[in-house]
Structures are given as C-alpha cells and as structure tokens.
Amino acid sequence: MLEPKYFYRKLDSLLAGIGKEKTGQDFLFNILMKLEDTFGTDLQIRRGRIYQEVAAGFELIYPVEEDDNDYTDRIPSDTYEIQLILRSRLYLFDDPGASTPFKNFTGFEYSVPAAFVVNSPDQKYIFVFELMSGWVREEIEFCLNAVRRAVNYRLFSEAVIGELQQAARIQQSLIASVPPVIPGWDIAARSKPAELVGGDLYDYFKFEADEFGICFGDASGHGLPAALMVRDVVTGLRMGVEKHMKMVYTLKKLNEVIYRGSYSTSFISLFFAEFENNGNLFYANGGHPAPLLFKKSGLVELQPTGLIFGAFPDISIKRSFAHMDEGDTLLLYSDGIIERQNGNEEFFTVERVKQIVREHQNMGASELIEVIFEEADKFGGGAKWDDDATLMVIKKVKTA
C-alpha cells in the first residue's frame, strides 16, 4: 500500500485540479487523463475509457478513432454489468471466472476492470479502467469514489450555475436599467440581489403627455424561485398596462395568475402608482412596506390598500391618492434595506433611512440612493447582504 500522506497529498492535488478544470467538450477526457497521470503507476490504473449514455445503451466516446484498440464500442443498457455499475456507482469486476464487456483487453496479462458512473442533470457517463497486478482494493475504491463525487459535483454545479446565469440574464432584461426622462421629475432606482438572481422588482411605464407609472415589489424568499415570480409579475403588469386596463382590475387579475401558478407558500408585495404632470399620483399598495413621501409639511406614508399578492385566490385592493409638490421626495424600499444587520444583530431600520433622506433631501435621486446604500453597507460592516435590497427615488423638480 502507498504511504498515507503521499496518497492523500496526490489525491488532494487531483481533486483540486478537477475543481479548477475548465468545463466543456473535453472536460471528462481531461479528468481521465489526469487520473491516469497521477495514479497510473501508484495504483496500477491503465487504459481508461469513457462511455456515454445513448438510446438503449452506452457508446464509447473516448478514446476515439484508434484502429488498434479492442474496446467494446457499444454496450446495451440492460446488460448485467451495466446494471451493476448503475446500482453500485463504483464496481470492481474482480471475479476471476466472470466474463464482462470490459475484460481481456490486455490479452493474457492479468487485469481487472473497474468502472464508475457520473451524472450530469441530463446525461450519464461510465468511466472504465484496467487494474493491473498489484492493485489494492481500499486505495482504488477510495480514490475512484473521490473522483466520482468531484466530477458529479462539477457537472451538476456547472448546470445549476448555467441555469442561474440564464435566469439572471432574463431578469436583467426584464428590469428596466434606465429610468424614463420625464420633464419635472427626477427618477432613479438600484437593486442589489443577495444571490445571482433576486426577488425584488421595479419597472417603469410611459404613458401619454409625459405621464408615467411605476411598480415596485418584493417576492418572498430570494434566488431562482423568487426570480421566476418577478418574471411573471413584470410580464403580467406590462401586458395590463399596454392594454390600458384599469389599475385595480389589472392587479386583481395579476393576483389570480400568481395564485394559480405559484407554490402555495409563494407571494409578493407590490406597489403600483401612476403619476400625472401636476404632481397627482394614484396608487395601490398590495402589502408592501409603506413608501415614504417627504414633503415640506412633513412625512406621509403610503400605507397598504390591500393584501399581498398570491396568498389568496381573490383579494380586495383599492386605489388611493397622494400629491407631490416641487421639492417633494418619494422613497420606495424593500425590507432587505431596513433589515440589514450589524455585528450585534441590530437592524438598520426604517428610522435610519428616514434620517438619511432628511439630511440629504437636496441631493438628486441617484445620489440619494447611493448614500443610503453606502450607509447600510457600512452599518453591516461590509458583509455579504443576506436579502435582496432595492431602492427607488422619485423627486418632483422644477420644470426647465
């Protein structure tokens, strides 16, 4: 047997290489070659090959185009040996009396086939090696199982990351990156997802005569499930606005769609508002933390006018009214901002947000957002954000 420290050091190096190996068409081939290069002599591993699952069988994909090999090119899935590998995940065919599709490649020289299966989300592969005289079961099983688990992890993690990246691109394409330019208004927003994709949303809607609308929401949880909810909500609202549906009717129909199409534990808070040139705004608030309207006369909180979306098949939601004069500031936020924690597990709180806005109310919309994010990040000691955090600021300004 190999000296344990030597064995573990080489195995650790091999596994680290698997973790860093660039995925792609040759990923599995490179892993096989690394395994043979690292342990071929020490563990008596030779002549590796890879079979890929195809219709009703497994087909040799590596090595290819070698006229002098005598490997079996295709093995049916219902073959006893294939079933053993799939059930056991790793199998050593060391019965001297057994004949397998993997045996006797080296003529009269002693060899034992060893095979293990790896899986991507939509594909299976079988690695096969020959164990030459002098192999040790404990070392072979430990090494090949470690490699099998490492390759499985890479195949699945790459697939998941690919799906998340695709979801992130879809979400980024849905969430408006540039606010509309409306005379008499200064508008900005910023979202910071806790993961690659998030559950916070905002959007803008341009109407006639320089009037506009906005939506702002927060789906339960974060990550991919919340991002899928965001996609459905943004798409549904855009369709309703484009068809000139009434605000309350659009939101009630949206709730029905969310309720039918989501998991029972999924829901979303949503604020929707339409702004007129004269500063009037009509809004509906479905369970979202009250947006803060900072006026010269004081603070007005735009409280919920209905329940969160997706919790019940039918909701009661009403339209309400507010007015913004020149110099007023409307701030919308998700709970990721106010629930940011410091090292003592204290929350950032909405009161701190209010104080920041009061102290910097003369700033432009985008500058004010940056100040709030900077203060919240500093409050949390620069640590990773635990929840999606989003801000929108709408200021009524003097028309040029």
pLDDT in tens, 211-237: 999 999 998 766 666 777 788 888 888
How far is C-alpha 136 from the geometric centre of its chain's CA atoms? 42
Q: Which fold has domain 177-396?
A: Phosphatase 2c; domain 1 (3.60.40)
Strand runs (DSSP E) across 207-324, as ranges?
212-219, 268-275, 280-286, 292-295, 298-301, 320-323
Helix (H) or strand (E) holding 141: helix 137-174
Parts of the chain belonging to CATH 3.30.450.40: 4-164
- The answer to whether residues 209 and 242 touch, using CB atoms and an 8 Å cutoff, is no
How far is C-alpha 166 from the geometric centre of its chain's CA atoms? 9
pLDDT for residue 222? 61
Asked if the model's pLDDT at residue 263 lies above 50, the reply is: no
**Verdict on whether the full-model pTM lies above 0.75:** no
Distance CA 266, CA 227 (A): 11
Does the domain made of 4-164 have the CATH classification 3.30.450.40? yes
- With pLDDT > 70 as the criterion, what percentage of the chain qualifies? 88
Parts of the chain belonging to CATH 3.60.40.10: 177-396
- The answer to whether residues 164 and 198 touch, using CB atoms and an 8 Å cutoff, is no
Strand runs (DSSP E) across 279-376, as ranges?
280-286, 292-295, 298-301, 320-323, 329-333
- The answer to whether residues 323 and 280 touch, using CB atoms and an 8 Å cutoff, is yes
Task: Taking the CA atoms of 246, 252, 255 and 257 in sequence, report the sign of the dihedral they define.
Answer: negative
pLDDT in tens, 58-105: 999 998 765 456 788 899 999 999 999 999 999 999 886 667 887 655
Cα–Cα distances in angstroms (integers) from residue 287 to residues 98, 143, 315, in the given order:
69, 55, 11
Asked if the model's pLDDT at residue 171 lies above 90, the reply is: no
